[in-house]
Structure 1
Amino acid sequence: MSATVALANLRMALTDLRSNALTGRAFIQTARAQQALFKALPPQFEEVWLGLVDRLESSALFSEESCSFSQTGLLDNLALVLDKAEAKLTASN
């Protein structure tokens, strides 16, 4: 799978998670499985991405918007990381 396909898969999974068409567990599994994208980007991308995914996974233990975690904020940050990954991939080509 190419990095651009992996990026598209992550964008679709994030959209599906936001619309409740995908469970958090399924999203997390997809989010961790994009090795083609991780290999195509600097190591910091994987580190930041997986850190956010870990926080999202932990937030599932709390209510939607607890004082410790904001799932909406985490999803927004994941989208921002995908935007930066896309820009990096585009600049590399």
Structure 2
Amino acid sequence: MREMTVKEVETSLKEGKKLNIIDVREVDEVTAGKIPGAVNIPLRLVEFRIHELDKSKEYVMVCRSGGRSGRAKQFLESYGFKVINMAGGMLAWEGEVE
């Protein structure tokens, strides 16, 4: 499974790299804070919102600890998307939140 650490994601953002981050936590979890610029698509809705994604882009999947984002990654890869899982999830995130 292709992964990035929390630090790699944070460093990439600080360097100004454009990351397409999808937070698959539930809406009530995201209200506590999400990575700036991340799009919230709860895991249970990913299959219904797949048409919103672009196969030419690479996506970084985020959740609370890495489990749900790993499932979302596998699902999207099965449809031909390029996806990376952020290992450790928001529990390990020490960067800025919005």
Query: TM-score normalised to the size of structure 1?
Result: 0.30
Larger Rg computed on CA atoms: 1
Q: Which of the pair is proportionally richer in helix?
A: 1
Query: TM-score normalised to the size of structure 2?
Result: 0.29
